[in-house]
Amino acid sequence: MFEKKIPHKLKNRIIKSKKQLDKNIKNFFDWVKGAELIELYNCEIEKDPVRPELDLEFRTSYGRKIYGVKYKNEIHAVMCFAFTNKIPKTVHELDLFSRDAFLQSATRDQNVGKIAIAYTVWSNKKGGGKLIVKEVYKMIKKSNHLNRLVTLSPLTEMARNFHLRNGALEISVNEETQNFEYKIF
């Protein structure tokens, strides 16, 4: 009875759309399951929508690191970190605090900082941003010396919504930035 009311062409389009949706969902979950978090020594800085002004030397010196989500030899999301012992409110403070933590670690145990500060993230594939947050969270949770995951995010609604949707708590709104924290349990 239902089939007689729907024109044949419309029914075919609905079936085709459903098959395409099923295929897209399968492809999405295949890439999410097969992706791995890796440390990068280089990245395409010009693709960074948050802090493209920060060069590779800044991103990789004084214990700072770049991580990417890799799937089938392609990087689908990138997140850059500085390791500190204090929460910065500006990029300048991020630089100073990570240098300080790096120098302190040189005389101790080589573990740079107790706080991982994510200062930029971008994705080349849908779901990549959320996936890299999840993978970095797991990495930090396994760490022996890191006890916090905090962001140094721009003052945009997009950044705010991204972090709140992914489970972070807003801990401060500053003059130029905002900080969110992903609780490490």
Does one domain contain both 83 and 10? no
pTM recorded for the entire structure: 0.78
pLDDT at residue 157, as a whole number? 96
8, 67: one domain: no
Distance CA 166, CA 184 (A): 13
pLDDT bucket at 29, cuts 50 / 70 / 90: very low
Judgement on whether residues 12 and 44 belong to the same structural domain of the protein: no
Average pLDDT, the chain: 85
- Give the per-residue pLDDT at 67: 95
| Residue 43: both structure tokens together | 């990245």
- Give the pLDDT band of residue 1 (cuts 50, 70, 90): very low
Looking at the structure, tell me whether residues 26 and 73 fall in a common domain: no
For 50, the 3-state DSSP assignment is coil
Shared domain for 74 and 3, answered yes or no, is no
Mean predicted confidence (pLDDT) in 166-183: 94
Kindly state whether residues 14 and 82 are assigned to the same domain. no
Q: Do 93 and 168 sit in the same domain of this protein?
A: yes
- Of the two residues 1 and 40, the one the predictor is more confident about is 40
Binning pLDDT at 50, 70 and 90, where does residue 141 land?
confident
Return the pLDDT at 140.
Answer: 86
Same domain, 4 and 72: no
pLDDT in tens, 70-125: 988 889 999 999 999 999 999 999 999 999 999 887 776 666 778 999 999 999 88
* Domain span including residue 2: 1-34
Query: pLDDT higher for 172 or 18?
Result: 172
159 and 153 Cβ atoms separated by less than 8 Å: yes
Kindly report the backbone phi and psi dihedral angles of residue 50, in degrees, each rounded to the nearest multiple of 5, phi listed first: -95, -55
Residues 9 and 42 both lie in one domain = no
